[in-house]
């Protein structure tokens, strides 16, 4: 068998395996239906299934990247056309350019960096309350001292008032 024929057989077997795994309830890897596809064990079927999924994910990533590049080129072209007018004071052109820039930011995921937030328990807000020194010491004691050597040096400096300046 040549390489193309083998590749076609593998692709057919993987497609059939994916169809079986999509069924509800899922067909287990060690089922007779899966093994009938030509797999020698449930482990080989499982590995092949995840290889197929990874290959599809890579193909999809390539397609998404190509789509983004195409859309960015279109947006850039439109901006080149309308931006000089917008910078010249045309309100409609300014609004149009702003929409284009927003679309480009969304397309490339640049907004996500701005939307990062810190959340508290259950996804709610982080509770902020005033904390006293005693509470901070308790928290440090509970969490553990991040740099125990540093405190030892601070204590030595406090205990030894003669640090060499009195000559």
Please tell me the predicted confidence (pLDDT) of residue 115: 56
CA distances from 74 to 35, 71, 78, 80, 98 (A): 49, 5, 6, 10, 15
CA distances from 104 to 60, 72, 73, 125 (A): 20, 7, 10, 30
Read off the pLDDT band of 126 (50, 70, 90): low
Q: Do the Cβ atoms of 71 and 107 come closer than 8 Å?
A: yes
- Mean pLDDT score, 130-156: 70
- The pLDDT tens digits of the residues spanning 14-54 come to 889 888 888 888 889 999 999 999 999 999 999 999 999 89
Whether the pLDDT of residue 167 is over 50: the answer is no
């Amino acid at each position: 068998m040549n390489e193309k024929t083998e590749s076609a057989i593998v692709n057919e077997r993987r497609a059939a395996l994916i169809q079986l795994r999509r069924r509800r309830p899922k067909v287990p890897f060690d089922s007779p239906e899966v093994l009938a596809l030509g797999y020698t064990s449930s482990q080989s079927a499982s590995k092949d299934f995840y290889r197929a999924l990874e290959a599809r994910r890579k193909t999809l990533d390539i397609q998404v990247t190509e789509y983004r590049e195409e859309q960015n080129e279109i947006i850039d072209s439109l901006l080149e056309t309308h931006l000089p007018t917008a910078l010249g004071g045309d309100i409609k052109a300014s609004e149009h350019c702003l929409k284009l820039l927003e679309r480009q930011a969304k397309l490339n995921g640049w907004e996500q960096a701005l939307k990062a937030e810190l959340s508290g328990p259950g996804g709610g807000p982080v509770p902020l309350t005033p904390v006293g020194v005693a509470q901070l010491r308790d928290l440090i004691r509970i969490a553990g001292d991040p740099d125990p050597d540093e405190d030892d040096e601070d204590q030595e400096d406090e205990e030894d008032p003669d640090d060499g300046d009195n000559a």
